[in-house]
Amino acid sequence: MNKVKKLFIVGLLVFLLTGCSYGTLDTIYSGSTEFTEFDNWLMEEVGIKATPAHIIVKDTITNYTDETVSYTELEKLFKNDKINVELWQEKLSNDKYVKDYDLIIVKTTDCSACEYQEEHYEKTILANYKNKNILIYWIKTEDCLGGCD
């Protein structure tokens, strides 16, 4: 095999291996001052009562917390399945579904707990989970879910 082919194959392998090790980070804004059907599903089916919320997605929703969490605390959520909620089946946006994510972070504007999460923990979480597909979802943009501040 000539040198150019070898370099091409090595380059392709490096591209594929590194490309497969990085997830996505998407942001979706509810865009509504009323709770959407998806917002209601998050509250009623998953059970979130406050923001920030962190939802673990596997074949189903397997765990969540609706409080500020560190990377270490979030790791425990990934390892311990405490619920089994069927996934939201409709498109979220950009032709993506809940099943396309590993972690959904739910936030609300003007929420001091969300700001605290962002300032103290979010960069570490995102840095350590860059191989996961993450959605940051801004629920109902007008006011905070009860109990978040």
Do the domain assignments include residue 7? no
Is the residue at 58 inside a domain?
yes
Residue 106, class by beta-carbon neighbours within 10 Å (0-12 exposed, 13-18 middle, 19+ buried)? buried
- When divided into structural domains, the chain yields a total of 1
Domain of 70, in residue numbers: 24-138
Domain contains 14: no
Is there a domain that residue 35 lies in? yes
| Domain assignment of residue 75, yes or no | yes
Q: Are 128 and 71 in contact (CB under 8 A)?
A: yes
Please state the pTM of the whole predicted model: 0.81
pLDDT at 39 exceeding the cut of 70: yes
- pLDDT, residue 84, reads 97
Task: Say if 59 falls within a structural domain.
Answer: yes
The pLDDT score that the predictor gives to residue 43 is 94
Q: Does residue 145 lie in a domain region?
A: no
40-90 residue pLDDT tens? 999 999 999 999 999 999 999 999 999 999 999 999 999 999 999 999 999
Q: For residue 143, tell me if it sits in a domain.
A: no
The mean-pLDDT minimum among 21-30, 83-92, 103-112, 136-145 falls in: 136-145
